[in-house]
Amino acid sequence: MSAQPTGILRRLIRSWREYGKHDAIVRRDEYILEHLAGLDANALVVNVGCATVRRFEAECPGRYLATDLRVLPTVDFSSDATRLPLADNSVDTLITLEMLEHVPDPGAVVAELGRVLKPGGTLLLSVPSAVPRHDTHDFWRFTAQGIAALCDPVFAHGKVTVYGGTFETLGYLTAYYVSLLLHVLKFPGKTFRQFFPTVGRAIDKRAGWTTSTSALHTLAFDLLYVGTGADTTEAR
Ligand SMILES: C[S@@+](CC[C@H](N)C(=O)[O-])C[C@H]1O[C@@H](n2cnc3c(N)ncnc32)[C@H](O)[C@@H]1O
């Protein structure tokens, strides 16, 4: 008679197998896709710091432009995000994912995003919180409070959402460093990539630590700031 996994174990194995479809970044991207689906064909969407992928272009119903500091095959124009060649109040939706940690002066980028965003337009800006250093130009990590303090003065409304709570984040970090250790020891280590975050997410859900932006001792994997363009005509 073979023993069948029951209850929690069965659920855990299923989540582990399917985790790639629901990881923290996929969940964040689902929110962004939902926003884009609500735009009309005239809406201008600009992806700032797009790197090598024109992310969401296929699903965008509006006009889509991509830009990066680097001259890449993916960009419509290359530009420094502190000096975008776009008119004031001209963009309906700005997408800026995992870019702010790579600029020496993130406040200057946020001010520029605020300048080009239409009043009532939407900023979708994500930043890593607890992730390893991942580039030679990697200057900053943000807490929910930190990103809000940077963006709130520029946008009319702002809300920060956590994607990847405390134990899920620890799961990512464990998976990352176990893989690194196995790599150093020359063992194959792919299995751990999904296992630890899956267990972490299950613990977060149980402890209610999935999305807190303010509780002490919490970690976050990724933070999405959703801001609304302010009417700055009087201030200028
Ligand atoms: C981690 S990648 C971004 C990934 C991409 N946004 C995505 O969704 O997968 C960071 C990008 O920011 C770009 N970058 C860094 N500083 C910049 C700046 N001042 N202006 C515009 N882009 C910048 C880099 O060239 C790089 O392509």
How would you label 89-111 residue by residue, b for 16+ Cβ within 10 Å and e otherwise?
bebbbbbbbbbbbbbeebeebbe
Is 46 a member of any domain? yes
How does pLDDT run across 167-198, given as a tens digit for each residue?
Answer: 999 999 998 888 888 888 887 666 667 888 98
Q: Which atom of ligand 1 is nearest the CA belonging to 103?
A: 16
How many whole angstroms from 67 Cα to the centroid of ligand 1?
9
Residue from 32, 69, 125 to probe ligand 1 pocket by mutation (most atoms less than 8 Å from CB): 69
**81 occurs within a structural domain:** yes
Q: What is the Å distance from ligand 1's center to 129 Cα?
A: 16
Measured in angstroms, how far is the CA atom of residue 48 from the centroid of ligand 1?
Answer: 7
Q: What is the CATH number of the domain that holds 67?
A: 3.40.50.150
Q: Which residue has the tokens 């300048």?
A: 115
Tens-place pLDDT, residues 32-58: 999 999 999 999 999 999 999 999 999
- Number of neighbours of residue 199 by Cβ within 10 angstroms: 19
Instruction: Find out whether the beta carbon of 103 lies less than 6 Å from any atom of ligand 1.
Output: yes
- C-alpha to C-alpha distance for 220 and 211, rounded to whole angstroms: 8
Average pLDDT over residues 191-216: 84
> Does 8 fall in a domain?
no
150 within a domain of the structure (yes/no):
yes
Domain that holds residue 106: 22-165+215-228
